[in-house]
Structure 1
Amino acid sequence: MFLQRSAVAVARRAAVSPLVRRSLATTAVRRDASPSTPTTHIKTLSEIKTKDDLFGPGAAPGTVPTDLEQSTGLERLEILGKTEGVDIFDMKPLDASRLGTMSNPVLVRSAGEEQHAGCTGVPADSHTVIWLTMSRDRPIERCPECGSVYKMEYVGPTEDHDHHHDHDHHGWVEPKTWADHVKPQYW
């Protein structure tokens, strides 16, 4: 009986295990310390003046490009800023040490038409994250859980080529919220 069971177990293992096992193979590639082609000048953050300055030079033929060489647009602007110690997108957390009020709201800086902010309550982490959306047309939002008030501070370009105040001609109307029904004296 014991011999019969062990023979069945050996047959099962042989059926599922491959006959030839693969080994791990590596290849060593030698890279010369001196590149064969001269590197092009990479502009610094202060040298960026137009959109065309946000294109990387690319890598030399036969080499793998770095993020700095291949990035373009906003990604390139962020990388150039980080190399000079500048936080381009202001990614530090919002002030969660106080409750924002209508007279003294928590300011949320934005260079775009709208900005999303996550409220975790006052004191911080007292409730789950509630995402609030502020826009240039509706810059103030209040957290429905803790009542903290947030205000979008627009820091984008002063020319108004992308901002459309007349939403009605596109068929879109700003949705009403409970804030539209609050009497002005309660603000």
Structure 2
Amino acid sequence: MTARVDHLVTSGTFSLDGGTWDVDNNVWIVGDDTEAIVVDAAHDADAILAALGGRTLRAIVCTHAHNDHIDAAPALAAATGAPVLLHPDDLPLWKQTHPDRAPDGELADGQTITVAGTALTVLHTPGHAPGAVCLHAPELGTVFTGDTLFQGGPGATGRSFSHFPTIVESIRERLLTLPPETVVRTGHGDSTTVGDEALHVQEWLDRGH
């Protein structure tokens, strides 16, 4: 059976630099009827477990370590035995949320994660966070971008650990080079395509933001 992508929206809060905001997060489950990986275990481990429906969880992949993307990761790992994987450049952010529980493994640029016979390649895309990554699944025609690229432009870079020129370089070099029909599945909000965002990102930059 070919891998499919299941989608769950969970709600909670995002906290950084002394502020807290209510947020809805996209949780992506990639797999078949027997096994899966979770991209960003946000807010509600029980809801994610229910969506897994008894499938073997192979890994919990963190696109970055802002608390709203990792707050449910330890509980989900404890319930399933799956390892939590994070790029090491985001360990300082991770420790703000989980000081007593380290990730189980590291993500590296070019690394391949395979589930249900489908390969997902890790793309290191710093900018929104130092260790931000995207996951490109060419067989599924999709890329999971976390908070690096949204419908309408780059992710936020106004808070600590983020850098606007770096996120622009990441998007231009790592994401806009993917096939234009590639579906962009984001950390928040609606999906888009690489081709659509190639147009939007240039307009966004031309406005001087």
Q: TM-score, normalised by structure 2?
A: 0.25
Larger radius of gyration: 1
Q: Would you tell me which structure has more strand in proportion to its own residues?
A: 2
